[in-house]
Amino acid sequence: MPYRVLIVDDSAFYRRRLTSVLEQDPSIQVIGHAVNGAEAVKKAIEFKPDVITMDVEMPVMDGITAVAQIMQAAPTAILMFSSLTHAGAQVTLDALQAGAADFIPKKFDEISSERPEAILVIQRRVKALARSRRLGPNSDIKDRITPDPAQRNKPDISHFPARQPVFTKLQPSVSPLPASGKRYKLLFIGASTGGPVALQKVISDLPNHFPYPVILVQHMPGTFTAAFAERLDKYTELKVKLAEDNDRLEKGTIYLAQGGKQIQVTGVGAFAKISITDAPKERAFVYHPCIDFAMESLVSAFSGDVLSIILTGMGADGAEGSKLLKAKGATIWAQDENSSVVYGMPKAVAESGSCDRVIPLENIARHIITEMKL
């Protein structure tokens, strides 16, 4: 049975072109169109699509309001199409907060062209969300939204050797287990699809006396990460900043990797600092930033003194880096399937043989607090 998609956009050209792009894949069927948010809400209830593609600025009702109403009336995986501006980033983050599952830059030149790579990106994102909704044990994602900050105190990595994993399926850990007794120097978290809301949940639950530096790597365009850092900073008393070249790693500071660049840690221990670079020419990266690449650098900088967590996301970024860190004695966790928007990256880690625990999103911060003895 094909994946059923509802397209919401006030542009007739965009509706026609996106329909053509999606239906080039025989596993995708566009079942309808809506020209504004109000119509989208009605058709979401009537048609019950697997995925809705949603524009932001529309007459009658905007995309964010429509997302919120759809998530209340007929929870559905929603893919936002967003402009690549700082204002567009803020609006997109509002949509994710309202319940949208993922976003993709709205580029008229790409949607107008027949570039195979651009078409594949859109098709893959839609199919990943559709699969997660159909196959996931918990398809209702409306409960994954975190509280408004006003309610809180301010508070293809081809060079890696391929191997077939041998693993025992881990059961989700709800109550924190006793601390392992390991020593830590860094908390690292990687995320992709569904990550902005998941990261917001985790860091908002960390205590204000958190005594370690934190590095966050979220797959996100470069124009979005500054706005995302600003938003995260509103949800915690810890300092959140966009990582910059030569930043020294300070206790109680959260460093968000820049979109469109690669982040590494150079130096060792107390002399460790952040390096922001373009991708090395001799290595081809799918993601910018790449979670595996960042984790690889932690091996030299901190050896096994790292707690690494891979959250929701499409693909397998973070699986190879987890193996490298685990070989040095690091602690590796993954988000569980029920609470993941897309159970791709955490599944790859959970099945890699390097994962120590799989944990529901709402319990991850409590596990961190117990394990790092805070």
Spell out the SS3 assignment of 187-209: EEEEECCCHHHHHHHHHHCCCCC
Please report the pLDDT score of residue 151 as a whole number: 38
Tokens of 239: 């300092």
Would residue 180 show up in a list of annotated catalytic residues for this protein? no
What is the CATH classification number for the domain harbouring 25?
A: 3.40.50.2300
Please report the pLDDT score of residue 333 as a whole number: 98
Confidence of residue 134 (pLDDT cuts 50, 70, 90): low
Please report the pLDDT score of residue 156 as a whole number: 35
Q: Dump pLDDT digits (tens) for 2-19.
A: 999 999 999 999 999 999
Residue 315: how many CB atoms within 10 A of its CB? 19
The percent of residues in the chain predicted with pLDDT above 90, rounded, is 75
Q: Dump pLDDT digits (tens) for 53-101.
A: 999 999 999 999 999 999 999 999 999 998 767 778 899 999 999 999 9
Let me know if residue 259 belongs to a domain: yes
Would residue 317 show up in a list of annotated catalytic residues for this protein? yes
| Residue 88 host element (H or E) | helix 86-98
215 and 186 inside one domain: yes
Please report the pLDDT score of residue 186 as a whole number: 97
188 and 47 inside one domain: no
Q: How far apart are CA 266 and CA 42, in angstroms?
A: 53
195 and 321 inside one domain: yes
Confidence of residue 169 (pLDDT cuts 50, 70, 90): low
> Which is catalytic among the residues 219, 288, 292, 322?
219
131 and 170 inside one domain: no
> Which is catalytic among the residues 247, 317, 336, 356?
317
What is the CATH classification number for the domain harbouring 202?
A: 3.40.50.180
Strand, helix or coil for residue 17: helix
- Return the HEC string of 18-75: HHHHHHCCCCEEEEEEECCHHHHHHHHHHHCCCEEEECCCCCCCCHHHHHHHHHHHCC
85 and 201 inside one domain: no
Please report the pLDDT score of residue 137 as a whole number: 42
Task: Quote the number of domains for the chain.
Answer: 2
Would residue 192 show up in a list of annotated catalytic residues for this protein? yes
Q: Is the pLDDT of residue 190 over 90?
A: yes
Let me know if residue 277 belongs to a domain: yes
Please report the pLDDT score of residue 306 as a whole number: 98
Q: How far apart are CA 258 and CA 261, in angstroms?
A: 6
Please report the pLDDT score of residue 84 as a whole number: 66
The domain containing residue 351 runs over which residues? 157-371
298 and 204 inside one domain: yes
Q: CA torsion angle for 348, 353, 357, 360 (degrees, to 10)?
A: 20
Q: Compute the average pLDDT of residues 260-287.
A: 87
Confidence of residue 29 (pLDDT cuts 50, 70, 90): very high
Antiparallel, parallel or unpaired: β 273-277 and 262-266: antiparallel
Contact (CB, 8 A) for 200 and 175: no
> Which is catalytic among the residues 132, 192, 297, 308?
192
Residues 2-33: b if buried by 16+ CB within 10 A, e if exposed: ebbbbbbbbeeebbebbbebbeebeebebebb
49 and 168 inside one domain: no
Let me know if residue 161 belongs to a domain: yes
Strand, helix or coil for residue 263: strand
